[in-house]
């Protein structure tokens, strides 16, 4: 799957609780791309290419992917993928039964 370029926001890392953390925009980017099946390695590589230290990138990816909100979003995304597949199969089956290519 193609890796997406990060959001067009300058601030990638913010101070949070005495440490470094991704901005909310970048956390949303991680979640969106993970839902699109971008690998953890590609997520980390993109974050690192945008100046995020590897330790921070790994910790933030774990934080986002471990979030109960992300788990729920993954369920919804998987359900949407199943419906898209079912719709495509029904459309193809309808075309083949009527002889339309």
**pLDDT at 95 exceeding the cut of 60:** yes
- In 3D space, the residue among 32, 36, 29 whose CA is nearest the CA of residue 6 turns out to be 29
Distance CA 92, CA 101 (A): 9
**pLDDT classification of 74: cutoffs 50, 70, 90:** very high
Which pairing describes strands 13-16 and 19-22: parallel, antiparallel, or unpaired? antiparallel
Query: Residue 98 falls within a domain, yes or no?
Result: yes
Mean pLDDT value across residues 58-69? 96
Tens-digit pLDDT profile for residues 12-41 = 666 666 578 899 999 999 999 999 999 999
Distance from C-alpha of 48 to C-alpha of 70, rounded to nearest angstrom: 22
In this structure, the answer to whether residues 76 and 52 fall within a common structural domain is no
**Total-model pTM:** 0.69
Domain encompassing residue 87: 68-101
Same-domain pairing of 28 and 54: yes
Given this model, what pLDDT does residue 94 score? 81
């Amino acid at each position: 799957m193609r890796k997406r370029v990060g959001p067009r926001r300058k601030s990638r890392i913010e101070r949070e609780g005495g440490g470094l953390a991704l901005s909310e925009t970048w956390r949303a980017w991680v979640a969106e791309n993970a839902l699109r099946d971008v690998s953890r390695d590609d997520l980390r590589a993109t974050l690192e290419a945008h100046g995020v230290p590897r330790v921070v990138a790994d910790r933030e990816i774990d934080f986002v992917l471990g979030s109960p909100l992300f788990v729920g979003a993954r369920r919804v995304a998987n359900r949407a993928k199943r419906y898209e597949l079912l719709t495509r199969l029904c459309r193809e089956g309808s075309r083949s039964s009527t002889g339309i290519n």
